Structure 1
Amino acid sequence: MAKKSIQSVEPMVADLVNGWLRTYGLNYKLEQETLNTEIDKALNEYASKSGGSGGNRPDAKILLQDKHTDYWPILIEYKGYKDKLVKLDSEGQVANRKSKNEPNFSNINSYAVNGSVHYANALLHYTSYTDVISIGITGYKNESGDLETEIGVYYVSKDNFGIGQRIDTYTDLSFLKPNNFDGFIEKVRDLELTQEEIDRLKEQREKEIDASLTKLNNDIYQNEKGLGENDRVYLVAAAIIATLGVAGRVKPLDKDDLHSSTEVGNRDGDIIVRKVRSFIKEKNLPEEKQALIIRTLQNTLMTENINKPINGESQLKRVFSKIVDDLGIYYKIGLNTDFTGKLFNEMYSWLGFTQDKLNDVVLTPSYVSSLLVKLARVDKDSYVWDFATGSAGLLVAAMNEMLNDAKDKIKSPDELYKKEAAIKANQLLGLEILSSVYMLAILNMIMMGDGSSNIINEDSLNQFNGNYGFGKKDEKFPATAFILNPPYSAKGNGMIFVERALSMMDRGYASIIIQSSAGTGKAAGINKSILKQNTLLASIKMPIDLFIGKSSVQTHIYVFRVGEAHENDFTVKFIDFTKDGYTRSNRKKASNNLRDTDHAKERYQELVDLVKYGKKKMHFISSDYYYEGHIDINKGNDWNQSAPIDTIPTLQDFKKTVSDYLVWEVSNILKSESKEGVSQGK
């Protein structure tokens, strides 16, 4: 006899849950109904780009607003079989990707939660919404014939890289009722990934970002003629800003909004500029900064060739479409990394810089940025500045540290919300003189949502007066932490920036990464000046291949306490960190050029602890690589010391030498006898 198939009870599940939504008074939309144009277009677009067919249609969808006026899309997927709620991978994450990072459509189509999380990623990729609630519900009939339901409620966000986090156990959806929703959102905001989960997911996403940026830059370089490196940077910046949107207020620019028209005022460049203007105005950026951004981007977006239609499509629309399709989800969900630093390095990889110029434009790896931030003892109350900010990678790392510290220490959601806004608006300041790189810094901090207020396009040595750049121009920026990776071609390998910044600070800490020759004589005069008001706490020798493929200079990190003159009797910690636990390579087609082969993450944390607490924290780092010594404040060229080597032989050394000699002597005797035996055998 043929095995009797189990009939799906999905219609019963849908009827039950839709009934709940009606009783809650929610304005929900069913599968074929429109929630809003932005969301519906994103669901359709994501299907075609992910290889599916027939569009993405959640069984029910709702758009709710919390007390902070933030909008939350709610996407609900129904199934009608037992054990079809969710499929997880070995790490306990929603299993929507195969081992080679391809979509797992079998899981997406078969399991309720997996389908709903897939829909949420469509919104992260193509809309302004960065926080989505995904709900999967499945049902079955029990032995008594009654309907049993299982509910999975997940938070899908840029903060969890679009992977999704289970929120809690629920037996109905009453948490969506108006009087319950704010409490539910507070619970969502309290969700945290473990550091191990964050590191794993971030590493995965960063590999994807690198691959996508390389693909995009190759495509533009080979197929889009007439676009210089700055044009490529500005096009990507404009496309990202235009497609970020502001939920409920500024609709992200869609590819279909560009018509390749030749009508004056309605060309593709005009449309993108208008959208960028709307976005930065809604973000309340200072008027001067808005004007600067528009003026900079217009130089590329409004040129005739890029707007001229060929076969009905302008080059601008074609490039815009490539940017959105290749990068859309990554600049929505990879926002705690230096996204534009990666963009900068990739876009400028085609240029034939001289070595000095190359050293000046190389950006700091994210794990080194995080190290500098920790060495400068940044916390939620710090005021952090960078006098050669580049793409703002160091400030991104500082902002992450400050926000994480705030989340750890502030338990009131309302107070945390205010503190996060204050950190982004008032507690970060960066200076960048190169206009193209400055635009990347602005973009980075806008994507961080939004720390761009005090990113200033000025010469930090000759123009900057120490005050806020916008809004509070007459008020001094009360810096308590200085972080820096300077242009090494500047005076003293860049130590001139350190002298300038520390002279404008009253207290706090500073950490800088710089070419090693700055500590052995190249900046002796500047170093002596710095020590008159500041204390050198530590000198750290970094791996020679730290910037492999970008620069080949040996670097050191110097850590200072600000506002206290150095004395010769003060102890300085000299640490050789050339064995940092990472193995690096420079293979262009390699999937991973940075591998943790010897407790690298633990070593980096230990380094921070050694600088702060001393050798009692030593574990992975050998005592041969740690030395506490002194410098002479009148020299300025003795900052790169290493542990002295004991050259007096011990009894054990003598015994080993004799032993090695006897082994060698016996080996020679045996070889001689063996040769004589062979000769006699002939």
Structure 2
Amino acid sequence: MSKNERITENIVRSLLQDLNYYDENSPVIIEEQKSQIVVINKLLKNASKTGKGGKGSPEFIITSPDVPDFLIVFECKADTKFHQSDNLDKAKDYAVDGAIHYASFLAKEYNVVAVGVSGQTNSELKISSYIYPKNSSQPKLLSNKSGKPIEDIVTFDDFIEHGTYDPDVAKERFHDLMSFSKVLHEFMRDHAKLTESEKPLLVSGTLIALRNKPFAKTFSDYEPSALQKQWMHVIKEEIEKADIPYSKKNNMTQPYSSISVHPELGKPTKSYPKGVLSELIKMLNSKVWPFISIYHDFDVVGQFYGEFLKYTGGDKKALGIVLTPRHITELFSHIANIDKDSKVLDFCCGTAGFLVSAMHHMIKDASTDAEIKKIKSEGLIGVEQQPNMYALAASNMILRGDGKANLYQGSCFDLLNELKGHNCNVGMINPPYAQSDEALHELVFIRDMLNCLEKGGIGVAIVPVSKATSPHSVKEELLKHHTLDAVMSMPDLLFDPVGTIPCIMVFKAHIPHEKSKQKTWFGFWKNDGFIKTKQHGRIDQKEVWSDIRDEWIDAYRNRDEIAGKCVRRHVTHTDEWVAEAYMETDYSDINKEEFEKTVKDHFVFNILN
């Protein structure tokens, strides 16, 4: 009996039906052979499987406005013999090859899940799925988080989730997000007339509001002035539901109040008849919400805050503290060797970047829902004094799904007893820099953070390297009560465009340095593999960071001594706490060009300073 491709298509249609793809309440759109979406039709215009030009026509094209950067294509063949060729290069004859062929055209604008299906009955059906990341040149097998290939037709959300965790997809989405941050900044500057401090609040407040599904579906129905009031009402509602411990609800909502009555947001304009706020919500809903609803380990609020700093005229620290780059917040969790039983204190939490990274690290170590619930309710403690920054931190934890970190608003120095009561065994801090008041010196923040930890707890701090090299009375006090476990010299441009050169200090709490009789480990961690680019700032362009990080952490944990990289020394409070003071230089890899460049840089430095 001859085999009929229409039978295969009917089986696929039936499976999609069973998985609620055709549900009238679903946002998923299924089209066959052609699409109503102009961009898709344009991309398929010359995508014929014959390779001779002409329009391409996938069996099924599946999209959703909720995930605008993803789509799914299906190609079917009746005979399982024509499921997949060895080289995936016979688009006309094989199901998988055909799906990948169409995906290669569509990947210019989308992340594409390409599904090839062959067979005439459910029992013999063969299914293979690939992910073709946006702007990439090659497809990859679609796998779940454990690396198992997806060999079934699954729900739309499952297909998207599996595709989302592909590293190339995540990287491309991150770049898109950062490019969008510039567009958003310019839109808010030109049309909303928001102050620099109001811009990140509008982002965080809107993302909180979009957690409310009725609001997300109906915000465009409101008149401009009514939308502002509803925006504020929904934020209050979501904050009330989140019920973050120790928080004062008014402290969390008050920073958003100026936006709720901002005159430019609540009136229609010729360009935006529904109002500027409606347009901003639409932009964030389509460009940012799909990202934040999936990547719970990513500090989106902090990232936007940092990106806005780049476009701020004048002082780059105009909005407050110097924020810690994402890969460094993640590095802190590795240094402290965090697990599901850790209790983490961030003494000056800013937008809660350290807590977001720590929570992700802890959850990866958990194996039950009860353990995850305990992490979120008891394992994360933060303090932030600035009201606007506190609101951003609180929103960040709310946006983690059901994250309920114990967030305090106020001065960390006024809350020492409360913080000690949490019995934290890990402390993290990036304190305010260059305060004129000696009582607010960076080492004072570190001292009081360590005093809040359990005995043997690990405290990790990132501070200007001058605090490690210059004499200060608090250095003696620190070593009298705590052990200086390690100091790592970090990249000079880590905080670019802010010109602070940092180092990381690691302490063991409540074990006096002299009694520990321990040599301090010094690491020369100057090259993190990140490259400064014009468009995106410092990025891991060559994708070497994870290997460098693992090498650093292995050397630290093993207390290795490697010429030019790391060394151990007994130090006191009168010594310099940096690797450069003790490390032997490894000259074996130095060439003439590097030597000349170093001499020139040193010469220029001496002239400028």
Pick the TM interval, shorter chain.
0.7 to 0.9
Where do residues 223-622 of structure 1 align in structure 2 (5 Å cutoff)? 223-245=190-212, 250-251=213-214, 253-254=216-217, 257-260=220-223, 262=225, 267-285=226-244, 288-311=247-270, 312-352=273-313, 354=315, 357=317, 361-406=321-366, 410=367, 416-467=368-419, 476-490=421-435, 491=438, 493-507=441-455, 508-521=457-470, 524-549=472-497, 551-567=498-514, 570-585=517-532, 587-589=533-535, 593-595=538-540, 600-615=545-560, 622=562
Deviation at 1:605, TM superposition (A): 2.0
Deviation at 1:382, TM superposition (A): 0.3
Q: TM-score when scaled to structure 2?
A: 0.74
Match of 2:578 among 640, 654, 669: 640
1:444 and 1:95, CA in 2 relative to 1: closer, same or farther beyond 3 A? farther
Q: Is the 8 A contact 2:345 2:428 kept in 1?
A: yes
Give the match's secondary structure for 1:582: coil
Instruction: Give the AA of the match of 2:576.
Output: D
Gaps of 5+ in 2: 43-57, 63-70, 83-93, 133-139, 586-609
Q: Is the 8 A contact 1:495 1:518 kept in 2?
A: yes
Please give the per-residue CA displacement for 1:123-157, whole angstroms capped at 9, x wherever unaligned.
xxxxxxxxxxxxx5734569xxx99633357999x
Deviation at 1:575, TM superposition (A): 2.7
Please give the per-residue CA displacement for 1:588-622, whole angstroms capped at 9, x wherever unaligned.
33x6743466954333222222222211xx6xxx4
Matched, 1:219 2:187: yes
1:309 and 1:78, CA in 2 relative to 1: closer, same or farther beyond 3 A? same
Match of 1:34 among 18, 21, 24: 24
1:138 is matched with 117
1:305 and 1:58, CA in 2 relative to 1: closer, same or farther beyond 3 A? farther
1:471 is matched with none
Report how many residues are paired: 530
Deviation at 1:259, TM superposition (A): 2.5
Q: Is the 8 A contact 1:542 1:556 kept in 2?
A: yes
Matched, 1:150 2:98: no
Deviation at 1:324, TM superposition (A): 2.3
Q: Is the 8 A contact 2:468 2:578 kept in 1?
A: yes
Deviation at 1:27, TM superposition (A): 8.5
Match of 1:103 among 101, 110, 113: 110
Q: Is the 8 A contact 1:384 1:483 kept in 2?
A: yes
Please give the per-residue CA displacement for 1:286-311, whole angstroms capped at 9, x wherever unaligned.
59554433333232123344212234
1:536 and 1:193, CA in 2 relative to 1: closer, same or farther beyond 3 A? farther
1:359 and 1:487, CA in 2 relative to 1: closer, same or farther beyond 3 A? farther
Distance 2:425 2:38 in 1: 47
Distance 1:399 1:139 in 2: 43
Distance 1:29 1:88 in 2: 19
Q: Is the 8 A contact 2:387 2:409 kept in 1?
A: yes
Q: Is the 8 A contact 1:493 1:515 kept in 2?
A: no
Q: Is the 8 A contact 1:386 1:483 kept in 2?
A: yes
Please give the per-residue CA displacement for 1:481-536, whole angstroms capped at 9, x wherever unaligned.
011111112446411111111112223111111011212335x2222222222111
2:51 is matched with none
Deviation at 1:49, TM superposition (A): 9.2
Deviation at 1:172, TM superposition (A): 7.8
Give the match's secondary structure for 1:560: strand
Deviation at 1:337, TM superposition (A): 2.0
Please give the per-residue CA displacement for 1:134-187, whole angstroms capped at 9, x wherever unaligned.
xx5734569xxx99633357999xxxxxx99445689987x99xxxxxxxx9xx
Give the match's secondary structure for 1:310: coil
Give the match's secondary structure for 1:253: helix
Q: Is the 8 A contact 2:428 2:459 kept in 1?
A: yes
Instruction: Give the AA of the match of 1:317.
Output: S
Q: Is the 8 A contact 1:520 1:636 kept in 2?
A: no
Match of 2:173 among 205, 213, 235: 205
Q: Is the 8 A contact 1:231 1:300 kept in 2?
A: yes
Distance 1:344 1:494 in 2: 22
Q: Is the 8 A contact 2:382 2:405 kept in 1?
A: no
Distance 2:364 2:151 in 1: 32
Distance 1:86 1:646 in 2: 56
Distance 2:125 2:445 in 1: 64
1:217 and 1:457, CA in 2 relative to 1: closer, same or farther beyond 3 A? same
Give the match's secondary structure for 2:414: coil
Q: Which stretch of the first structure deviates more once superposed, 376-385 or 358-367?
A: 358-367
Q: Is the 8 A contact 1:519 1:636 kept in 2?
A: no
Give the match's secondary structure for 1:268: helix
Instruction: Give the AA of the match of 1:489.
Output: A
Distance 1:141 1:539 in 2: 65
Deviation at 1:418, TM superposition (A): 1.6
Q: Is the 8 A contact 1:466 1:476 kept in 2?
A: yes
Give the match's secondary structure for 2:421: coil
1:218 and 1:334, CA in 2 relative to 1: closer, same or farther beyond 3 A? farther
Give the match's secondary structure for 1:465: helix
Distance 2:534 2:357 in 1: 26
Deviation at 1:79, TM superposition (A): 4.7
Q: Is the 8 A contact 1:205 1:334 kept in 2?
A: no
2:597 is matched with none
1:27 and 1:379, CA in 2 relative to 1: closer, same or farther beyond 3 A? closer
Distance 2:249 2:131 in 1: 34
Q: Is the 8 A contact 1:545 1:584 kept in 2?
A: no
Instruction: Give the AA of the match of 1:300.
Output: I
Matched, 1:84 2:95: yes
Give the match's secondary structure for 2:216: coil
Greater Rg by CA: 1
Q: Is the 8 A contact 1:386 1:430 kept in 2?
A: yes
Gaps of 5+ in 1: 1-5, 62-74, 115-135, 157-162, 177-184, 411-415, 468-474, 648-682
1:421 and 1:50, CA in 2 relative to 1: closer, same or farther beyond 3 A? farther
Q: Is the 8 A contact 1:152 1:166 kept in 2?
A: no
Q: Is the 8 A contact 1:139 1:147 kept in 2?
A: no
Distance 1:319 1:86 in 2: 41
Please give the per-residue CA displacement for 1:4-41, whole angstroms capped at 9, x wherever unaligned.
xx99734x34544666789xxx69463xx5134x6679
1:138 and 1:341, CA in 2 relative to 1: closer, same or farther beyond 3 A? same
